[in-house]
Structure 1
Amino acid sequence: MSRVALVTGGTRGIGAAISTALQNAGYRVAANYAGNDERAAAFHQATDIAVFKWDVRDYAACGEGVKRVERDLGPVDILVNNAGIARDAMFHKMTPEDWHAVIATNLTGLFNMTHQVWPGMRERQFGRIVNISSVNGQKGQAGQVNYAASKAGDLGFTKALAQEGASKNITVNAVCPGYTGTEMVRAIPEELLKERILPQIPVGRLGEPHEISRCVAFLVADEASFITGATISANGGQFFA
């Protein structure tokens, strides 16, 4: 029987590309989402991927959500922590609400989700966890102190947990996308993209969601079992870690 993969934030943007790539690779996929019922329903209709609604900021909701996934599809073998938000502002204008919302989703969400599946992975002596961080978690970015801090925290989480999982055949890795052509990025004014963002990217273009999803599909495969605690930087040469 094929393995079960759970992707948080898995019905839109990079998450949708990851969910679809894993389905195409033969996994049984569950795509989590937090709020947009219409988009989730459209994604399910287009792909036949099962969708499940809960907020990764809520530990109890994550526990109940994982139980539903495992009841419907089976034990979770692969977890992709992709759910994330941005609340950008220069630091002197950033509110405590901006800070806590981003940290709660982008960093605490990793704990909330991974803590639910970790015991089962240890018991079964197999697991694949991939955390979607960001180039701005590697290099920092003005106006994104909260976002950069959360995404840098994701990398520390990855490296530490990889050491705990290695003896149990559980790998924990990270992918750091650069600017990728999602709805959020393409909503940036074209002039700003051309003058401020694209010049930072040596390949001269935005990434595409499917290019990020291929990194994830590689890391969760059996052939990647010797890779753990690693970070794949998919940013068009914008930053070298």
Structure 2
Amino acid sequence: MSYILITGTSRGIGKAAKNALEARGLRVIGHRSSEADDDSIAANFADPMAAQALWNEALDRSGGDIIAVVNNAGLFEHSSLDSSDIEWLDRWEDTLRINLTASAQLSRYAVRHWQNRLAGKSGERGRLIHVASRAAYRGDSPGHWHYAAAKGGMVAMHKTIARAYAAEGILSFAITPGFTDTSMAGDYLQSRGGVGLLADIPLGRVAQPDEIASIITYCALDAPASMTGAVIDANGASFVR
């Protein structure tokens, strides 16, 4: 049976996506930054070697049968403009490493693996799903330059992968949620005025993890190949393109 690797499955969107894909009969290899269990591999993406270790172990667990990778793990930390130079730089580099560089590493390992894999009847070899953010297009708060830059980079990376490898049956999709009801977003909502921030969302509420998980599941299993390169917004119309 085929496997899907999802990063950041300890909570929120990643956990919901894992549950949704398992409900569809897929075997999911999860990931968390610490404390591995039977369903998840521990890898702290602040370590430059962690993504490679995660990929190697996932490949071993799956017997080489990974059909999709969901880049979902993320770090969302406030960084004041008035922080010390070294503190500001440390938070910038940690955020880009965890949110973007680790995703790039895993995407590279997956693409190279699929290039050496026989295509299925449909001509496909594998799918990448990148959980980016509305911030990739709209930007973010003054304390989150690094987060917006990382998510913008993820979208650009996704488009490049889609264009480069579609002819080889390697597909790429990106999802750009707005606020989602996770502990990470909850902390941000409180820091930005709580429910008053909802006035900026025409839908009148933040997204639920299960909603984003349903889009991930669609991209991983059901989206037609012609959709490769697509970026799917899910932000309650708080940013429309």
Q: TM-score, normalised by structure 1?
A: 0.88
1:133 maps to 2:122 = no
Q: Given the superposition, is the C-alpha separation of residues 152 and 191 from structure 1 closer, same or farther in structure 2, using an over 3 Å criterion? A: closer
CA distance in 2 between counterparts of 1:24 and 1:165 reads 29
Write 1 or 2 for the structure with the bigger share of helix: 1
Q: Given the superposition, is the C-alpha separation of residues 161 and 198 from structure 1 closer, same or farther in structure 2, using an over 3 Å criterion? A: same
Map residues 47-58 of structure 1 onto 2, 5 A cutoff: 50-58=39-47
Structure 2 residue runs without a partner (length 5+): 120-124
Aligned residue identity for 1:107: L
What's the C-alpha RMSD, in Å, of the aligned pairs?
A: 1.9
Identity of aligned residues (%): 28
Deviation digits for residues 167-226 of structure 1 (CA, Å, limit 9, x no counterpart): 11111111011101111223443992221x201100001110000011111111144222
SS of equivalent to 1:23: helix
What's 1:88 paired with? 78
What's 2:167 paired with? 167
Range with bigger deviation, 165-174 or 57-66: 57-66
Deviation digits for residues 87-114 of structure 1 (CA, Å, limit 9, x no counterpart): 2234343711111110111111111211
Aligned residue identity for 1:219: C
Q: Given the superposition, is the C-alpha separation of residues 56 and 76 from structure 1 closer, same or farther in structure 2, using an over 3 Å criterion? A: farther
CA distance in 2 between counterparts of 1:218 and 1:19 reads 13
CA distance in 2 between counterparts of 1:191 and 1:106 reads 22
Map residues 171-190 of structure 1 onto 2, 5 A cutoff: 171-187=171-187, 188-189=189-190
Aligned equivalent of 1:66, options 49, 52, 55: 55
Aligned equivalent of 1:113, options 75, 93, 106: 106
Map residues 180-219 of structure 1 onto 2, 5 A cutoff: 180-187=180-187, 188-189=189-190, 192-195=193-196, 197-219=197-219
Range with bigger deviation, 207-216 or 223-232: 223-232
What's 1:14 paired with? 13
Structure 1 residue runs without a partner (length 5+): 45-49
SS of equivalent to 1:237: coil
Range with bigger deviation, 177-186 or 144-153: 177-186
